[in-house]
Structure 1
Amino acid sequence: MIFNLSKSRFKVYIFWIVYWFIQSVLMSGGKEVHFYLVKNIVLVGLQIFVVYLNLKVLFPLFFMKKKYLLYSILSFLLIYIAFTISFGLIDILFGFVYPNFKGMLELRFATDFWEILSGSSFYSLALVCSLVYKLIILNNEKDSAHLELKQNIIKNSKNKIITIKEGHQTHKIAIDDVYYIKGLKEYVVWHTKSRNVIALQTMRSIEESYKELGFLRVHKSYILNRKYIDTIQSNSVFVNGEQIPIGRAYKSNLLELNFN
């Protein structure tokens, strides 16, 4: 390959270059395109800054942890900062490209709501699009994990082996070695005899897929291996000596288990 870059990174560079050119042409309306090509070096550069700060910091640290209010406040602050510094950066760039240009070269804090709303639209769009992109990627990963889960169940059910993907590692665990599964937001933790395995799965997919293999859901955050149920009380159940809460919506599952 001519470029010493990964294919994915190369595609990202091409995307932003094409985006920069198209945005410049659209803003120019076909007139003085060179002026907008220069101006959009700053605008697109700041859009890239907003996108990657959102993907690498705001989204994982705040949105994924359901701190939506804090995420919204920080997102607005990020957009405002990009909007504010854009004036000075454009003046500096024009000073290099156009020798006769004399910009203000000062930090300008906008206070007019409509000015901020219209001027920051480029950065708002970049942030929203990056958020939607990340949500789509996560949804596809969950669908892929669910499909892989079903395929692994069919493949390994005869041998009573569960295949669990943890990051870049794949674990094969015997069904009889699993005590219970605990839900942690978008992840689950498989508690087994030898270790705990964290996987990007949903409790619903596990409940539906492993029901026939001896797993029972007793709480929105817990699925148990029936083999290790020691004692059932009114509001809790003991699995291998550990107390697990019983959810009101799942009590009937344990009542049926008692009679069977």
Structure 2
Amino acid sequence: MTNPEAVLRCTLYRIIQACGETGATSEDVVNALFKYAVSLRDQWSVRISSVSPLNLDTLVEAFADRAVILARIFMYLMVSGTSTSVGNKETSLNNEDFDDFQPTFVDDISAACANSGAAGRMHSPKVAKFLELCKQHCAAPPPETLFDWRSLEQTATPPRIHQGRRLRMLRIDDFVGSISIEAYVEFTKLRQSASFFATRNVLLAFLHWFFSSETASNRFSAGDLLAYLFTSGLYDLIDLAFCNRRLLGIQLSSPITSVELEQASLIIRRLSYL
């Protein structure tokens, strides 16, 4: 297997570029995002280490007190046909028969939940299983409608991150509007690869890095779900940096800096929502 940290850093570079960067991203910026990724991994490892194996049941149990995580799990299950399904198939990190999953833009997952046909998936087996797990592990009963779940994600996510997310989308729109069709096609491919669940090799490298061992988790039927949640957490940091940029009057299109990410990481740790 390729060095997991090298794969991770390459993906971090893509994540930053996918935010509408007009030039190359410096190593200092990637290092700043990597430093936060390590911090988030350490934070989540404390929760996940108390449950085994890694599957939908244990993820819900580990994050039962984190509404934003539960809402993101719900939205992922609503749109994905992945290994996180209700079936009991368990996959080794070295197993070549890895379940197929549907790589997509991280932001498109929540957007897909807003389309007209999404409500019908509320009754799918995997969503029904998730709702039962929420009733089992969470102190409060889960929302019963798609609208209520989307509202929960909105209210559980700090407002400054929502503001930054809108700014990031605006930045991407401005970037796309200034490039050629050929460059747009390449940028679309870049965005599709800017996550830890985009391909099987990236996902395996992420899980190897997250668990600090290739065989630390022999069963991980929710590995792609963990990768999605983790990727979303990194985009949250960037979104917070964009919100801070607007408050400081810094031009939205200017390159992302390591200082911005370091300042945002200090703030996001105090928010205690992930």
TM > 0.5 between the two? no
**Higher helix proportion:** 2
Q: Which has the higher strand share?
A: 1
Which protein, 1 or 2, shows the higher relative CO under an 8 Å CA cutoff with sep ≥ 6?
A: 2
TMscore range, shorter length = under 0.3
